[in-house]
Amino acid sequence: MSLPKPEELARVNYQPPARGWMEVKPDFRPGTYCNAASPKWLEWIDYPYPRAWSVADEDWQLPQNWKEIVLEGMEDRLARFRSLKLFFDICVRCGACADKCHFFLGTGDPKNMPVLRAELLRSVYKRYFTRIGKALGEIVGARDLDEKVIKEWFYYLYQCTICRRCSLFCPYGIDMAEMTLLGREMLASVGLNIDWALASVAQCYDKGSHIGATPQAFKDMIDFLAEENERITGIKTPVSYNRKGAEILFVTPSGDYFADPGTFTLMGYLLLFTYLDLDWTFSTYAAEGGNFGWFVSHEMGKRLNAKIYHEAERLKVKWILGGECGHMWRVCNQYMPTWYGQVPSFLEVPVSPITGTVFENARVHKMVHISEFTADLIRHNKLKLDPQRNAHIKLTFHDSCNTARGMGIFEEPRYIIQHVLPEGHFFEMPPNTIREKTFCCGSSSGINANENMELRMQGGFPRANAVRYVHERYGVNHLGCICALDRATLPTLLQYWVPEVDVTGITELVGNALVFEGEIERTTDLRDRDLVGVGEQEGGEEEE
């Protein structure tokens, strides 16, 4: 499939079809959906109804009693999640959420208005679980569950990145993300899954990380990045793996160690930890912070998340430090202690060994965000930083949806940015597109498969559009973020819409700026790009 040109995709048509939405059926056009999961992954994780099917097929080989399964699943979830029942009952279809979804803004497809995406599920709820829907049918928005409806669920529930921007604007806080997740659970209960997500889940489950790296491969990759650090800075950044008795277990998403530009962020972590002489370890077993399980079900999310505390207990660490990641942190913040069911008492309340700061806000959770950790260091003047080494970077910051609307971490990364960048090199995107109102990268929640590229570029259009604005206006050439998934998806997105802008993690900038005793004279940043002014004058160390 060939991807249309940006100028073609940018011509979004917001005119809805003439026929009512119940009659319009999704058009499974290549480029706008993810492939069906291969049965092997389902078998790995005991998921129901593994079979070889294809989205493009007429027959999805649903189990005979699929309808009962889905309806029972809905009944069960209505009983277990107040959110679902409430969100089904109280939407007034005011449309405040409609133009908030990046998929609607990017595709113009009215079923991508969160209100209508929810209505796809709600219509079935009304038909089978409410008196008025049973009595009046279509006129109150109720409809029978049939194969066409389930296909529609599949299509549109995998056109939602669970970013919950809609929830922010809804007067009742109706959260499509919550419904999407529950809807995906129901789809999975009849064996409808997407390959990219399920492959990642199975690999995380079995090996450690979503790319399925074996322990030795994991170690190789990270050792290689440590060598890169030494080559560029002259500083050895030793790494320990599965080391019992370390003070801190460090967990980061795999995006940080297997693909650029995440790797540069990982080099930044290693430099930072070495600089501090931190007593920390990686685990090859709890080797994935990103929780891909949560993209398919609450239960699968828990099955993967369980590994982190399990490993922390085995290694007898005191607390856990978490890397830059969006959905990892949303899961850690909203679910982790609840899933565990009690305060993990084998851990201690996190204390920074460098500054002595007690992370009171992680008293129960026992896990600290790297941005909190670094901001605290800077605040206590524990880092010698040379912002001039980032002088080639003009940065704007992308709040990842998950850390924004699922956690509320806005100031820490900005505080770090202000200390590692020269003054006047940081520019915010327009206010309606950042912080809690931030736009999604368009590819999260398991739908960043390559076969889904057209949808991804459409979904990321609002984000890219705001980046383009600061690029044109201020000459911004880097988009910073604290999310590994962003570092995986945004480069592709920006390559398409704003090719002049690169993506960077924040700890990468910290790594660039950190001044070590005994380091070799730095001529490049961690990406081997020349520093500003190198060759003209001695070193980049003089601060102005």
Candidate list 122, 164, 307, 365; residue touching ligand SF4; CB under 6 A: 164
Contact 416, 506 (CB under 8 A): yes
Closest alpha carbon to 168 in 434, 450, 472, 354 = 434
Other CB atoms within a 10 A radius of the CB of residue 425 amount to 21
- Tell me the β-bridge partners of 396: 479
Name the strand (E) or helix (H) holding 421.
none
Contacts of 77 (CB under 8 A, 6+ apart): 84, 182, 185, 186
Closer CB to ligand SF4, 335 or 415, in the complex: 335
Binding mask 201-240 for another protein (x = CB under 8 A): ----xxxx-----xxx--xx--------------------
Q: Which stretch binds another protein (CB under 8 A): 105-113, 186-194, 443-451, 516-524?
A: 105-113
Residues numbered 169 to 208 that lie near ligand SF4 (CB under 6 A) are 170-172, 174, 176-177, 180
The number of angstroms, rounded, from the C-alpha of 375 to the middle of its chain's C-alpha atoms is 22
| Residue 11 binds another protein (CB under 8 A) | yes
Q: Residues for the chain: how many in total?
A: 544
Q: How many CA atoms lie within 13 A of 316 on its CB side?
A: 3
Closest alpha carbon to 446 in 146, 159, 219 = 159
| Residue 531 binds ligand SF4 (CB under 6 A) | no
| Residue 166 binds ligand SF4 (CB under 6 A) | yes
Residue with tokens 């909190």: 372
Closest alpha carbon to 443 in 465, 458, 433, 431 = 458
| Residue 310 binds another protein (CB under 8 A) | yes
Shortest distance (Å) from residue 180 CB to ligand SF4? 6
Q: Which stretch binds ligand SF4 (CB under 6 A): 64-72, 167-175, 320-328, 475-483?
A: 167-175
Shortest distance (Å) from residue 313 CB to another protein? 9
Candidate list 111, 126, 143, 165; residue touching ligand SF4; CB under 6 A: 165
DSSP 323: -
Return the one option of another protein, ligand SF4, none that residue 71 interacts with (CB less than 5 to 8 A, by type): none
Residues numbered 360 to 399 that lie near another protein (CB under 8 A) are 360-365, 367, 372, 375-376, 379
Shortest distance (Å) from residue 82 CB to ligand SF4? 16
Residues numbered 25 to 84 that lie near ligand SF4 (CB under 6 A) are none
Closer CB to ligand SF4, 116 or 192, in the complex: 116
> What whole-number distance in Å separates Cα of residue 271 and Cα of residue 514?
8
Shortest distance (Å) from residue 363 CB to another protein? 4
Candidate list 4, 16, 353, 539; residue touching another protein; CB under 8 A: 16
Contact 118, 179 (CB under 8 A): yes
Shortest distance (Å) from residue 172 CB to another protein? 5
Closest alpha carbon to 119 in 73, 183, 169, 194 = 183
Number of residues that bind another protein (CB under 8 A): 126
Contact 463, 439 (CB under 8 A): yes
Give the tokens for residue 72.
């029972």
Shortest distance (Å) from residue 113 CB to ligand SF4? 8
> 361, exposed or middle or buried, with CB in 10 Å at 0-12, 13-18, 19+?
exposed
Return the one option of ligand SF4, another protein, none that residue 534 interacts with (CB less than 5 to 8 A, by type): none
Which residues sit at the interface with ligand SF4, rule CB under 6 A? 91-97, 100-101, 103, 114-115, 117, 160-166, 170-172, 174, 176-177, 180
